[in-house]
Chain A
């Protein structure tokens, strides 16, 4: 029916009293998500839009009276690692890290611990994920009514390195009548908890999902990893990709970072041109224009039906 989230998913917000976190909490509650607590050290006893605030994750779990499924982490970069380790060690299995500018070494530590404990991290530097009309975890899509406008339930899974483009693409799929099964803003950093290939098995197992759209950018190797996965696993899902930032292939743009921290051309394999070639070699259709996506998805669905 969806990946990672369901109607019953419970989650907390770490850093809940921050300005953006307060908004995010309200948006999620309005959407119908089960936000069962918040954590800000030293603020125990307060409430944010009716959600109780605790000093520790352990207190939130105790108050809830059982395991909590997820956490949205929106604390400053210097405190992010500790917050995420706290969530993992308190049994939380799905962690969305919103924070930007977390050093790579910290992210790698969190991911390694998550692997040891069977937890999954989405982000950092992401807006979270959404299953239309079921659950929204994070700021993805914005206020509930805006999210409803862009995200209607449907057949296409979306993964994007850009939070804003997750909504732009999903909105075009919604407008075209295709709709979205689950959309994941995977984050714009060089090292993230869940790259495309790591989320593919979930989509593969999800009956509602019939096709995948990915938004990608120069920098990193995660497209190559996806191409490998598709080849090795004989995926049933047609994938349509859009690559932004082709202008960064120009010689004078080398070594400059645009858009997201991970978006930088450092070597030949990082360029848009090289990545497009790899994706296409794996049978992934890479569209030239953003507005071609819905039609190409329809074409692919027609071909597999």
Chain B
């Protein structure tokens, strides 16, 4: 789950990391008030969950509260990469002496959080790591033991930073590491971490992401502190009708699991496929043999006839879908006969001939003999495990667009 900048700022603040005086505003009038309170030049930043806002005109400087209100008005109406802003953040224009970088990410290989620190902040850390590796400090923290300030200190010191800068940056990095662990973050980044002309350190911009699996147990932070609504799921894109319908069918029946996605798919061959790895393998196999999938889907966990039927119907009713391919890797829990009943029923309920509509049925495994009897009766072409997933996908493709040239 991604956070807006104003939320990330609040998270950092709650962890005891110093920030500048700031205000989140949803109207020009509010922006004027915040600018007045701050006093002096301010910066107005669009609050969108997408990059490139500077380039798009989503960040502007103002010398007076009137100017701030004017900019806020424009930015609030400005769409960036298809996203309308949720509001604007009004910040003082900071007098920065030096920019630093601090972050904590997962190292999946070490299976521990990794602290990163650099005295070259404000720019892309991966680039710094490549061009100036001696300016990037790194250090893992334990998942079980308390995070010691000394661990953060070692990381900061590794970049050559010393003096009062070391002593100011150390607790900030340590607190960032603790908030990463305590709040189930997958990314906690402060960039830039600024040293102001008066020698103090503040987090000027922060970027936070929380693991989706942990959202349920972080209610205190999400609902109470940040006031994020339960249905505000922050998907990377708006789900399509197909995706919403499939989720609704899945949620209505506890037996088995189905998933459907069609973002980025526009073809004529509907895919009723599974399970996780099987779906990835089959989608590639269809595309690599010249087929055009209309969607991606996953069947797993032994769904009911009604659920398999529901998914197949949704796929069949998508614009441009001519046929469906029903394919899975060998199943040991999901039943072949139950899926066969579901997809045939979908055809019949839509007034379609299953033998014509189902380009291929390739699900070997549990209850396959019973399943094959059903498919035979309705004239559906099927195959067992002796036909590979690649070959089955190829047969479906050639049926829909004729034999390959």
Contact = CB atoms under 8 A, between A and B. Distances in A.
Interface of A: 20, 23, 77-78, 101-105, 107-109, 111-113, 139-143, 146-147, 150, 160-165, 167-168, 171-172, 175, 188, 190-191, 195, 215, 217, 220-222, 224-225, 242, 244-248, 250, 252-253, 255-256, 258-261, 263, 288-291
B277 interface: yes
Contact of B275 (A146, A162, A263): A162
A182 B264 CA distance: 38
Nearest to A85: B144
B278 A105 contact: no
25 contacts: A102-B213, A103-B214, A104-B214, A108-B113, A113-B144, A143-B332, A160-B277, A162-B275, A162-B277, A163-B276, A164-B328, A167-B365, A168-B278, A175-B385, A188-B277, A191-B108, A195-B109, A217-B277, A220-B108, A244-B277, A246-B287, A247-B280, A252-B264, A255-B236, A258-B280
Given A143-B332, A146-B332, A252-B264, A259 B280 contact: yes
Interface in B281-319: 281, 283-285, 287-288, 296, 298, 300
Interface in B214-260: 214, 216-217, 236
A104 B277 contact: no
A167 B330 contact: yes
**Central interface residue in A105, A191, A260, by most chain B CB within 10 Å:** A105
Contact of A289 (B113, B385, B390): B390
Interface string B388-404: 11110000000000000
Contacts of A190: 106, 108
Given A103-B214, A171-B330, A246-B287, 20 more contacts: A23-B333, A104-B184, A104-B211, A108-B106, A146-B366, A150-B330, A162-B276, A164-B276, A167-B329, A172-B385, A191-B108, A247-B283, A252-B264, A253-B264, A255-B236, A259-B276, A259-B277, A259-B280, A291-B389, A291-B390
Contact of A141 (B213, B217, B332, B390): B332
B77 interface: no
Nearest to B391: A291
Contact of B332 (A142, A160, A289, A291): A142
Given A105-B211, A168-B329, A222-B109, A263 B144 contact: no
Given A103-B211, A171-B385, A188 B276 contact: yes
Interface residues of B, number: 51
A139 B106 contact: no
B236 A256 contact: yes
Contacts of B390: 289-291
A150 B329 CA distance: 12
Contacts of B112: 108, 112
Contacts of A250: 264
A258 B214 CA distance: 19
B298 A245 contact: no
B386 interface: yes
B181 interface: yes
Nearest to B209: A266
User: Which of B112, B113, B236, B388 has the most chain A CB atoms closer than 10 A to its own CB?
Assistant: B388
Interface of B: 106, 108-109, 111-113, 142-144, 181, 184, 186, 211, 213-214, 216-217, 236, 261, 263-264, 274-281, 283-285, 287-288, 296, 298, 300, 328-333, 365-366, 385-386, 388-391
A139 B333 contact: yes
A225 B111 CA distance: 13
A81 to B, nearest CB: 11
A290 B296 contact: no
A139 B211 contact: no
In the A-B complex, the 8 residue pairs with the closest CB atoms: A142-B332, A162-B277, A291-B388, A165-B277, A244-B280, A252-B264, A245-B280, A259-B276
B339 to A, nearest CB: 14
Contacts of A142: 331-333, 365-366
**Most chain B CB inside 10 Å of its own CB: which residue of A77, A102, A190, A290:** A290
Contacts of B261: 256, 258
Contacts of A289: 285, 388, 390
B37 to A, nearest CB: 37
Nearest to A100: B213
A176 to B, nearest CB: 11
A105 B184 CA distance: 6
A259 B279 contact: yes
A278 to B, nearest CB: 13
A59 B285 CA distance: 50
Contacts of B213: 77, 101-104, 261
B332 A225 contact: no
A129 to B, nearest CB: 14
A175 B330 CA distance: 13
A193 B330 CA distance: 25
